Amino acid sequence: MKRLLVLLMLAVWGTAVPQESFKSGEYFKFRIHYGVVNAGYATLEVKDAVKNGKKVFHVVGNGYTTGMTKFFFKVTDLYESYFDRETGKPYQFVRKIDEGGYTKNQEGFFNQDNNTVTVKDYKHKSQKTISVTENVQDIVSTFYYLRNHPQVDKLKVGESITVDMFFDDEITKFRLKLIGKEDISTKFGTVSTRVFRPLVQAGRVFKEEESLTVWISDDENKIPLRIKASLAVGSLKADLEAYNGLAHPFRIKSK
């Protein structure tokens, strides 16, 4: 269950379309299963905000354990990102987490002109400025950026796309690979999906680099419907429990 919301973020992304795949007001709620146990929930919500005098998207992600799970391993995660409505470039991120006693309380500010990010660590009362690559994304903005990326929709089975992502004070090459298409049964009905494998770092949490599998609705919204992961111990599954504020009609084949 460690890094509950990070795992979800690593999977919540979609393919690109000529029009916007999301809008302000979009809301997703996921139910997290650890084996047969209902372990917790995670939510993602898109809001409007203003940064540096510009209208931006503000995405808020929360993850938390429930029931008996929180007595054994309590998780309360908060991730936020402010990013440009047109370019998708991030201005600011927030990471405030408590995962079984492992805590972080950070805020990052991107300078896109100088290709730097200033990270304020409130837990350790420190601050540092780190050089980053051009067009770098934070962990949240990455996935909204990809939902409108013109190249992802052109991927053929077996092909992938890579994005520079800033996480834990360093640049990570985040790679996404298309592995096929599948109709899956959800609580909303049968939905056509595209199936992807995000590349993740093996060892600390996941069994291997391709431990995650993600099912994304094959429509204009690119809704994350299901996520499965093989962990170092056990397996994790997330299913979409509720949604609201979609930019386009949700295509359901049958109920």
Alpha helices in 38-148 (DSSP H): 69-72, 141-147
pLDDT tens sequence for the chain (255 residues): 445 555 555 555 433 333 589 999 999 999 999 877 888 999 999 999 999 899 999 999 999 999 877 777 888 999 999 999 989 999 999 999 998 899 999 999 999 899 999 999 999 999 999 999 999 999 999 989 988 888 878 899 999 999 999 998 999 888 889 999 999 999 999 999 999 998 755 544 444 455 789 999 999 999 999 999 877 667 789 999 999 999 999 999 987
For the chain, what is the domain count? 1
Q: Residue 73 domain-assigned?
A: yes
First to last CA, the chain: 32
Domain of residue 218 covers: 4-244
Q: 224-230 and 212-217 as β-strands: parallel, antiparallel, unpaired? A: antiparallel
Reading the block at residue 52, the tokens are 């540096």
Residue 186 lies in a domain: yes
Q: Which tokens hold the place of 214?
A: 């993600």
Enter the pTM of the model: 0.88
Tokens of 150: 């013109």
In a domain, 226, yes or no: yes
Inside any domain, residue 254 = no
Say if CB 216 and CB 226 are below 8 A apart. no
The CATH number of the domain holding residue 97 is 2.40.360
Indicate whether 228 belongs to any domain.
yes
